Amino acid sequence: MSTQTSLPVREIVVVTGASTGIGAATARELAKRGFHVLAGVRRDVDAAAIRAPNIEPVLLDVTSEPEIGALAKRLSEDPERRVLRALINNAGIAINAPVEVLPLSEWRRQFDVNFFGQVAVTQALLPLLIRHRGTVVNISSVGGKVALPTYGAYAGSKFALEGVSDALRRELAPLGVKVIVIEPGGVKTEMTGRGIVTAERITSKMSDEQRGRYAALMQAIISQAETFTRKGMSAEDAAKVIVNALTSKRPRTRYTVGRDAAIFVRLARWISDRMLDGLVARDIKNYLPA
């Protein structure tokens, strides 16, 4: 794979969800390679933490139309007339609970951030990306290929992002814009910890009947997530995969990040649903409370 290691600061890359984790690591890796990064964060304290040479924090909630509009205006009025090289749609949250017990308000919040927010930012920046023949990088997940128990809302949002990425890639190819999907597996980020807290909060509100059905499963899923995160690759290594894909002259349409993601994606492609169900069930059984 061919990559560029240094560039004049004549190109801008927008990274959403850059407060922590993969987003922050990707912003720093891009800055190191000579891009000017507009790093989307939600709080002033996060802006102060990410600010660095070649990294310009911008307040950006991907569910806020005014903040998305302000970002588009900032780019169109760039004082140095820099090229918009890429948009990296990384913002995301994880909400895990069985389909039966997850309130519809939480389903909507999951999709607002992980799917509709990505579409909104993409729509706002596409005119510039088309003009500059840039690249859209959508950070999906292995959960966009394989939906584990309790991951219905999260996987649903990522499956949707995978589908819209295919449509977008085919729409924009004649216009010279590339679309790349990144599918991370276990990565050491704060998002997993926040997802576990959310899962525990939702579990505590289940009825006694629901708790009898799902409490053990929820404990197993939380324990499994903690293990995957602990053994996962660093956010910095994940960022290198993303930036290498972005700077490749002929990028693939999809990249997995981590050994676990590569295995799951291949299994989903080559074995039957029933066989995959059995493998998933056996793995979860290892984490069930005694």
> What's the angle, vertex CA 253, arms to CA 255 and CA 243, rounded to 5?
55
CB atoms within 10 A of CB 248: 17
CB atoms within 10 A of CB 280: 16
Q: Give rounded-to-5 percent helix, strand, coil for the chain.
A: 55, 15, 30
**The one catalytic residue among 151, 154, 214, 255:** 154
Backbone phi and psi for residue 244, each to the nearest 5 degrees, phi listed first: -65, -40
Active-site residue flag, 287:
no
CB atoms within 10 A of CB 235: 22
17: which strand partners?
A: none
- Contact predicate 182/139, CB 8 Å: yes
Tokens standing for residue 3: 């990559």
- Contact predicate 221/149, CB 8 Å: yes
Half-sphere exposure at residue 128, Cβ-oriented, CA atoms within 13 angstroms:
24
Cα separation, 276 vs 224, whole angstroms: 17
**Catalytic positions, written as ranges:** 154
